Structure 1
Amino acid sequence: MPLTDIQIRQAKPGERPRKLSDERGLFIEIRPTGAKLWRYRYKIEGKENVFALGEYPEMGLADARAERDKARALVKQGRHPSHVRRTARARQVLEGQSSFKIVALEWIGSKTGITDGYRGQLTRAFTKNLFPYVGRLPLRDVTSAHLLECLRRMERRGATYYAISLCNWLSQMFRYAVRTLRADADPAAALYGAFVRDPVQHSRPMSPEDMARFRRELAGYGGFRTNTIALELMQLLFLRTVEIRRGRWEHVDLDAALWNIPPELMKKRRRHLVPLPSRAVELLKELHTITGARGLMFPGLRHPDKPVDGSTFNRALERLGMKGFTCHDFRATASTHLYESGLFRSEVIELQLAHAEDNQTKAAYNHAQYLPERIEMMRWWQDFCLDCQ
């Protein structure tokens, strides 16, 4: 006869364990301690097995029968319910250790052959744009829709290009997760083409008239003096913005009028010598009175131990009224006018621009190569800039 809830509730423990049978292999074991435990008896390949379902009253009679039916379905497939349960629990543990955030940080840490700066960029991108929304989710639960929502947030704040880069990084991360058995597919792949880059704006040189306007506006600029100095140094030295931003006083020799930038601070990872014309030395001496007590030449206002933000100088250039130009255009300007002058060899110009050599043999150059010609060229370029007043 099938059990009733009253029978189970009224059953008293004895000196030894005893069983009350229900049907289809279900029974409840009553221990001397008073514990009442649901069990399911079944056979596979002629061998009898017992599967623990739960404890009464946390699991009532109806629930026990439902769990018995699930176990019977597995037995009919020749599968032990206990094995299936262990596998499910192991998967739950693995999923708990495989949240989106955990796997993402593991992937970032596993990448080899990248700089600390690039690793930091990846960490910041995931931390700001993804972890607050999907970081705690098991990786297998993260869908294309989740990722699209995160990337759309970036698009709405005008970071479309960054969203495209992050989509590519997401795809790399999910492929890593597939290889390490934490994911079955790459949901980021479905988002390729969802975001469109704006047309590329190539660098354009300033004409002498543009240069004259720049210097007039610079002379009357009322913003931070460090920004004014940075902009003029960019014109005179035509370094990349990131190389100016990360500049350190320990690499500048004002007496020798040389800025010796180590490889780790250069985009191309090659040491770069910058001859300093007299106006640049004058500007750097003034800057030293402002930031010379720090290691960084251009520290950030909020975080003085880090370089100034990457957009700071471009914003200052916009405030000067130089619409349509960016700080990178100083390099195009110098290159154009130096070549047009006809006074300097291309090797000297390209070396001072710190461009990569196509020929690998030439690439292994001495960073002080052509230094006398480069010093003379930087003096000429200074005079050309100052004449545009």
Structure 2
Amino acid sequence: MTAGTQHVQASAGPSSLLAAAELDRLRAAVSAALAVFLGRQRETLAAMDPSLVPVVDEVCALAEGGKRLRPAFAYWGWRGARDGGSDEDEATVLRAVAALEFVHASALVHDDVMDGAHTRRGRPATHVGFASRHCVDGLDGDRELFGTGAAILVGDLALVWSDELLRRSGLSPAALSRARVVWDTMRTEVTAGQYLDLLRAAGGLPGPDGALTVARYKSAGYTVQRPLQLGAAIAGAGPEVSEAYTAIGLPLGEAFQLRDDVLGVFGDPAVTGKSADDDLREGKQTLLIALAEERADETGRRLLGALLGNADAGPEEFDVLRALLESTGARARVEERITERTALARAAIAAAPLSADARAALDALAVAATSRAA
């Protein structure tokens, strides 16, 4: 069968996409690995002091949600390249790539603090939850500062645990050493991307190019490119595979983040688990906003200036902002870019020097990641 016939049609249903990428099995395996690890950490923290249990409970709650796409990309990155002579067994690899979920959890917690977000995956954001706990427990001091401080520490702990789970996964010393090179690069990029996001929110990195720079380093790289390369490193693959994963990962990671941006404003809250007003209320400077600013007339730009990031604005006012994003063509242009970047990634998948099952799985993941509703 040729690489071209391995392509999954964009119109394929969710069930066929899940089957091609074995997502149900991979999600179950990753969840099991996280549960075992977190069970041990709960015992450790409870032995230190019972008041630490809510901290590990929060990490558990964060780890329970999510689509597990990053571990899935890493797993298929390994499986597609393992013909190169990987000696690692599948269970070990799945434990190792599960550590990506802790990196993701850390980034989400810190991002919510920076943005002042109220919800995450249908529950209070970590800093909001701990501020509420401060009140319920009758603690002294400022509840908001307590919530923010606790959230920063929860995020830090998740990042510490990402390292520990990778190290204790059972990878051979050689595979672990290779993996660390990608792992360290990825975590540096995520942290740098968070700062670039903070800088853009303060007026730095203006325009569409600035928005895309933030998207690349804050989210796109660690969502697809680096997980794929992590799998390749574990497998001991050569540079041609790593280069192929860059050709796949950069455009696909960007398309994934742009889909996230669209859902943040136009998504169904019952599906996404967060209000469709949050990104507008927080003033997120996404490509949607940059394009609207470019195309809007003077009245539209005044509207953006008055309502974007306005904590006092209501649903009707944010509906007006959404209408502006539509009327300026910003949403349509972002959708066009998602389609173009996804097509570029899928062409790179078809040409990649990988096993046929990995090409089919990665193509399915590409479709699922960029056409999702949450």
TM range (shorter): under 0.3
More strand by share: 1
Higher RCO by CA contacts (8 Å cutoff, separation 6 or greater): 2
More helix by share: 2
Larger radius of gyration: 1
